Amino acid sequence: MQRKFLTNLAFLLFLNLVVKPVYIFGIDVTVQNNVGSDYGFYFYIFNFSFLFNIILDLGITQFNSRNIAQHSHLLNKYFSGIVMVKLMLGVIYFLITFLAALIIGYGSEKLYFLAFLAFNQFLLMFIQYLRSNISGLLLFKTDSILSVLDRLLMILICGALLWGGITNQPFQIEWFIYAQTASYLLTTLVALSIVIKKARFTKLNWNWLFILSIIKQLYPFSILVFLMTITNRVDTVIIEQLLPAQNSDVQVSIYAHGYRVLDAFNNYALLFSVLLLPLFARMIKLKENILHLARLAFSLLFTASVIISVSSFFYSYEIMALLYDQNIEESAAFFRIIMFAFIPISTTYVFGTLLTAHGSLKKLNLIYMVAVGISFAINLSLVPVLMAKGSAWANLSTQFFAAVLQVALAARMFGFRLNLRYLFCLLAFVALVIVYNLLSEQLAFSWGVRFLLVLGISFITALALRLLNLKEIIRIIKEKP
């Protein structure tokens, strides 16, 4: 399983490293700079549409990936029932989302944007469900291609609008939303055709007893996804509600500047969980030892997250100035805080995924119930005073709380023993990365050269401390499947 994990991870990372940076820094950042504060308006409505997207999934993606990995012969049986559930949930999602928007007092312009963004959420969650079938069958290469298809289409469509001379008008934020809709629709059709073929699907069956049985199984997964969604997406909604109207869009835009970079790196860390969930589920069913795979994945993510978070702290202004044209100082101050959340989030992608594969949903739900309370308490206390930075502290505190408890719970459940040498290497690595960044500030090179030097030396240090063991990784890859 370690070999399958590493080889498919390499392919998945390669595709995402080729496509997603072009989208994030070539398309998304360019759109932000072209539309200015309108992006903050879009980002707020986007996060609002995200608040209720748990209704679209109810934990179906995680449940299905785990279920198909352990019982692949059930794909045909479950596919028809779950598709009907997804369509039903789509209707409920639209009703609740628009009802909430009307209660808050959305005007016609916001409702227009929300209609498209809500439909995009439906398509996105449907794509994720379709991909969970493919990854559950351990067809990781096919899933890897689907993981970047929507972004590749966005690059083509938005690139044509930005630089193709199609129009003489300035780029409009609604064009960005329409491009998302088209990209998600095409990706959905491709993924659907693959799953239909694999499932040998012929027709939809409306079986109430089977649908109710699925919903009952989804219950703990749905609560978990709902709580995690609130933890990750409620910040901008609180900013918009607590701050005066003339300031809220600016603060949400500042939040978006820093969070977009964090979200970009999170997308890469998330790729680990996409592979780990079906692998962990299969290994647990077969009663195989998961310690080595868990440690390998954690070591890779921890070293990367520490290097990126610490370096982002020291070079926050330069990074924000490189990416954006407005509110650089405020964005850098926010960015310095929020990027440290990448460390606990990466940790969660390993140990939270392991607990999910094991079926420890009740304990995970309890952790995130407390985490939501912490997030609201800190946001409500700090946002009126620190504005976007208050939300950054809330996000960081909440993520560390959840990650520490998940590591402790996984260690107790799977009998992981405390390895003092390994722990010392982790702490030494963090300290050395901080020292390297401090020393780099004394060098006379440009900030870009200094930044790259720090990244390179930090990577070499991870190898020297054997947090990354190249010989072991090469040995695993060379093993016969």
Q: What's the pLDDT score for residue 439?
A: 92
Q: What's the pLDDT score for residue 471?
A: 66
Q: Where are the alpha helices (DSSP H) in 137-207?
A: 140-163, 173-199
Res. 245 pLDDT band, cuts 50 70 90: low
- Indicate whether 202 pLDDT > 70: no
Q: How many domains does the chain have?
A: 1
Q: Distance from first CA to last CA of the chain, Å, rounded?
A: 9
Q: Does 356 fall in a domain?
A: yes
Q: By mean pLDDT, which of 194-198, 304-308, 395-399 is the weakest?
A: 194-198
Mean local confidence (pLDDT), 73-79: 72
* Mean per-residue pLDDT of the chain: 84
Most confident of 277-286, 361-370, 462-471: 361-370
- Indicate whether 447 pLDDT > 90: no
Q: What are phi and psi of 231, to 5 degrees?
A: -55, -40
> Mind listing the pLDDT tens digit for each residue in 215-226?
777 778 778 877
Output the CA torsion sign for 92, 184, 197, 358: negative
For residues 22 and 158, is the Cβ–Cβ distance under 8 A?
no
> Mind listing the pLDDT tens digit for each residue in 253-267?
888 888 888 888 887
Please report where in the chains the tokens 């299905």 appear, as a residue: 64
Q: How far is Cα 275 from Cα 301, in angstroms, rounded to an integer?
A: 13
Q: Does 16 fall in a domain?
A: yes
> Mind listing the pLDDT tens digit for each residue in 224-236?
877 887 787 677 7
From residue 281, alpha-carbon distances to 271, 278, 402, 410, 441 in Å are: 16, 5, 22, 14, 46
Exposure string (b/e) for 174-201, b if CB count within 10 Å is 16 or more?
Answer: ebbbebbeebbeebbeebeebbeebbee
- Indicate whether 402 pLDDT > 90: yes
> Mind listing the pLDDT tens digit for each residue in 321-364?
888 777 788 888 889 999 999 999 999 999 998 998 888 888 99
Mapped onto helix, strand or coil, the DSSP state of residue 106 is coil
Angle between helices 75-104 and 208-242 (to 10 degrees): 30
- Indicate whether 201 pLDDT > 70: no
Q: Does 225 fall in a domain?
A: yes
Mean local confidence (pLDDT), 428-432: 94
Q: Does 255 fall in a domain?
A: yes
Q: By mean pLDDT, which of 31-45, 115-129, 343-357, 413-427 is the weakest?
A: 31-45
Which pair of tokens denotes residue 67? Answer: 């279920």
Which pair of tokens denotes residue 157? Answer: 């469509």
The HSE-up count of residue 20 (CA atoms within 13 Å, CB side) is: 20
Q: How far is Cα 444 from Cα 349, in angstroms, rounded to an integer?
A: 38
Q: What's the pLDDT score for residue 481?
A: 45
- Indicate whether 310 pLDDT > 90: yes
Mean local confidence (pLDDT), 25-35: 82
From residue 480, alpha-carbon distances to 1, 3, 243 in Å are: 11, 8, 59
Q: By mean pLDDT, which of 73-77, 120-124, 394-398 is the weakest?
A: 73-77
Q: Does 238 fall in a domain?
A: yes
> Mind listing the pLDDT tens digit for each residue in 275-308?
788 888 888 888 888 888 888 889 989 999 999 9
Most confident of 30-44, 46-60, 175-189: 175-189
> Mind listing the pLDDT tens digit for each residue in 382-392?
888 888 888 88
DSSP one-letter code for 165: -
Residues in CB range of 472: below 8 A, 6 or more apart: none
From residue 467, alpha-carbon distances to 9, 310, 439 in Å are: 18, 17, 23
Q: Does 182 fall in a domain?
A: yes
3-state helix, strand, coil in the chain (%, to 5): 85, 0, 15
Q: What's the pLDDT score for residue 165?
A: 77
Which pair of tokens denotes residue 405? Answer: 């408890």
Q: Does 430 fall in a domain?
A: no
Q: What is the 3-state secondary structure (H, E, C) of 334-402?
A: HHHHHHHHHHHHHHHHHHHHHHHHHCCHHHHHHHHHHHHHHHHHHHHHHHHHHCHHHHHHHHHHHHHHH
- Residue-number span of the structural domain to which 203 is assigned: 2-417
Q: Does 423 fall in a domain?
A: no
C-alpha of 286 from chain center: 29
Q: How far is Cα 28 from Cα 41, in angstroms, rounded to an integer?
A: 15
Q: What's the pLDDT score for residue 23?
A: 85
From residue 210, alpha-carbon distances to 188, 213, 351 in Å are: 25, 5, 32
Of 408, 406, 378, residue with least CA distance to 392: 378
Q: What is the CA radius of gyration of the chain?
A: 22
Question: Which is more confidently placed, 71 or 151?
Answer: 151
Res. 205 pLDDT band, cuts 50 70 90: low
Torsional class of 206: left (φ above 0), alpha (ψ -120 to 50), beta (otherwise): beta
Question: Which is more confidently placed, 123 or 108?
Answer: 123
Question: Which is more confidently placed, 162 or 307?
Answer: 307
Q: What's the pLDDT score for residue 141?
A: 82
Q: By mean pLDDT, which of 67-76, 416-425, 467-476 is the weakest?
A: 467-476
Q: What's the pLDDT score for residue 91?
A: 92
- Indicate whether 1 pLDDT > 60: no
* CB atoms near residue 215 (< 10 Å): 16
